[in-house]
Amino acid sequence: MRTRTAILIAALAATPAAAFGPDLAPIIRAEDRIRLEHVDTVAGRTLRGALAQGTPDDLAVLMQGLAGRPLPADQAAALLPGDWSCRMLKLGGGLPLVVYQPFRCRIDTDGGFVKLTGSQRMQGMIGDLDGAQAYLGTGYIAGDIAPPYADLPDDIDPAATPQRVPEVGMVEVISPTRARILMPLPMLESDLTILLLTR
């Protein structure tokens, strides 16, 4: 006969792990949800262009960053918090592939995300969106104080000063030392932006 302790342990093991970060469904903009729904189509199209025209060195970074199957959201959650080296890749939008030097990023235990260095900054939240992990944030220029994603105005002018744009992406964790954020159809410069996270 099972003891009360054994029954409790079994019950806890059967309980789904708490989602990492907040529930993003109530705050995501309708147009940003549509952008995320096109991530696979956009990735396929831009990857074809990058593979056809990218330089060997840039393609090596891209292929290494995209290698590996993402972990399930409940396993990935515990691996996200901490300091990361983050490298931005931009595909399409005039150039097939642009690879930037690494910057510093941080993910807090509550899902808060911030890109700490570079002229182009981003800050927001990683959380649950329909059972997957997603990023909702604000892109801005270093020196500005960016409003939270939920406080951005309905009408966005990417050419305005200060430059503040909504950014959305799907978060994929590969291992304790590797993750990536795929941001389809950003408002600036590319058709797909990929942020590679390593540590």
Contacting residues for 36 by C-beta, under 8 A, at least 6 apart: 129, 134, 168, 169, 170, 184
Q: Say if CB 14 and CB 123 are below 8 A apart.
A: no
User: What is the pLDDT, as a whole number, of residue 44?
Assistant: 95
Cα 157 to Cα 186: distance, rounded to the nearest angstrom: 13
Q: Categorize the per-residue pLDDT at 19 as very low, low, confident or very high, splitting at 50, 70 and 90.
A: low
- More confident: 2 or 61: 61
Please count the other Cβ atoms lying within 10 Å of the Cβ belonging to residue 144.
Answer: 13
Q: Say if CB 197 and CB 181 are below 8 A apart.
A: yes
Q: Categorize the per-residue pLDDT at 62 as very low, low, confident or very high, splitting at 50, 70 and 90.
A: very high
Residue whose entry in the numeric block shows the structure tokens 């978060």:
171
